[in-house]
Amino acid sequence: MARRWAAAVWDPTPVSMRRIALAGVISSTVIIVTGAAVRLSKSGLGCPDWPQCTRSSLVAAPTRGDPMFHTWIEFGNRMVTVVVTVVAVAVLIAAWRFRPGGPGARRRPDLVWLAVVQPAGVVAQIVVGGIVVLTNLNPALVSLHFVVSVAVVAAAVALHVRCTEGTAPARSLVRPDLRLLGYGVVAVVAVMLAAGTVVTGTGPLAGAGDVPRYHLPLEGVTRALNYGSDKVRFINMVRVGKRVRMRQKLIGAEPKSGGMQLKNECTIEIEGEEKPACIAETISIVYGG
**Chain segment 239-259, per-residue pLDDT in tens:** 888 888 989 999 988 887 677
Instruction: Among 9-18, 120-129, 178-187, 194-203, name the most confident range.
Output: 120-129
Q: Quick check: 80 and 97 in contact, CB under 8 A?
A: no
Better pLDDT: 21 or 8? 21
**Chain segment 196-216, per-residue pLDDT in tens:** 787 777 766 655 666 667 666
Better pLDDT: 157 or 255? 157
Q: Quick check: 18 and 24 in contact, CB under 8 A?
A: no
97 has pLDDT over 70: yes
221 has pLDDT over 60: no
- SS3 label, residue 66: strand
Beta strands in the chain, from DSSP E residues, in sequence order: 223-234, 244-256, 259-270, 278-287
Element (H, E) at 89: helix 68-97
Nearest of 140, 149, 134, 122 to residue 47 by alpha carbon: 134
**Would you state the pLDDT for residue 9?**
81
CATH topology of domain 223-287: Thiol Ester Dehydrase; Chain A (3.10.129)
163 has pLDDT over 70: yes
**Would you state the pLDDT for residue 27?**
94
Q: Where are the domains of the chain?
A: 2-202, 223-287
Residue 260 main-chain phi, psi, to 5 deg: -125, 120
Length of the chain: 289
Report CA 98 to chain centroid distance, whole Å. Answer: 28
